[in-house]
Amino acid sequence: MDIWLLEWNHPASNNKSISYWDSKESASKCACARIQEFITDKWDFPHCSLSQFAIAEMVNDFIMNFRYNLAVNAWNQCTYNLNDNDAHFWYVYSDYTSSEAEADAPLIRPKSDFTHTVQGSIASAAAPPAPYQATTHGAICRKCDSVSPDAYADNPDGTFVCYGCKLFVKKFGG
């Protein structure tokens, strides 16, 4: 699959940027828009010099006739860019990228590969631990430290939250 690159280059500052486009026309059209912005902003068009005015007219004529690539080439070769320290260049060129259909297919392992045992344990991910369930009654509230001989702990350390503390938190928060 071809992609089109639009490269902007400002040699004086050693700055460069690249954008990607799906067609040569789109990339060239974007370059023309940036060139026209440059002519308007930097040259103060239409109050520019006669040589700048002639370049702007030539670029504009190409754009008006949908000859975007020719407009970009004319701009890059104009006397302004050849003789000025503040030259700006735009380049449009293609590159090739692989489509998804051409990409290597990843290996898909069958589910049976994940049920074999490894050194006596199942290779698949371990199930999350079940919540703690006390087997005998009698627990201490972890909030107020009151002992309740009839309550069952919900933590392995033998604690739970009593009804009074739950009600307090529900009514007053925290």
Asked whether residue 84 falls in the same domain as residue 158, the answer is no
d(CA 174, CA 121): 43
Statement to judge: residues 42 and 93 lie in one domain: yes
Strands 2-10 and 89-96 turn out to be: antiparallel
**How crowded is the C-beta side of 61, counted as CA atoms within 13 Å?**
7
Count of domains observed in the chain: 2
Average pLDDT, integer, range 83-92: 83
Among 67, 99, 131, residue at a domain's last position: 99
Residue 77 lies in a domain: yes
Q: Best-predicted range by mean pLDDT among 11-15, 67-71, 85-89, 136-140?
A: 67-71
**Does residue 115 lie within any of the structural domains?**
no
Q: What is the pTM of this model?
A: 0.54
Query: Mean pLDDT, to the nearest integer, of 53-69?
Result: 91
- Looking at the chain, the whole-number percentage of residues with pLDDT higher than 70 is 80
The DSSP output letter for 145 is -
Q: Is the pLDDT of residue 157 over 70?
A: yes
Residue 64 in any domain: the answer is yes
Residue 117 in this model has a pLDDT that exceeds 70: no
Q: How far apart are the first and last CA of the chain?
A: 60
Angle (CA) 109-111-112 rounded to 5° is: 100
Write down the pLDDT at residue 27.
92
Domain boundary among 49, 73, 99: 99
The rounded distance, in Å, linking the Cα atoms of 40 and 61 is 16
Same domain, 11 and 67: yes
Residues 75 and 14 in one domain: yes
Q: Provide the residue range defining the domain that includes 151.
A: 139-172
Give yes or no: residues 92 and 159 share one domain: no
Q: Can you tell me whether residue 47 is helix, strand or coil?
A: coil
For the chain, the residue count is: 174
Question: Which residues, in sequence order, are bridge partners of residue 46?
Answer: none
Tell whether 6 and 84 lie within a shared domain.
yes
19 and 93 in a single domain? The answer is: yes
Q: Write down which residue in 78, 99, 120 finishes a domain.
A: 99
Distance between CA atoms of residues 73 and 18, nearest Å: 17
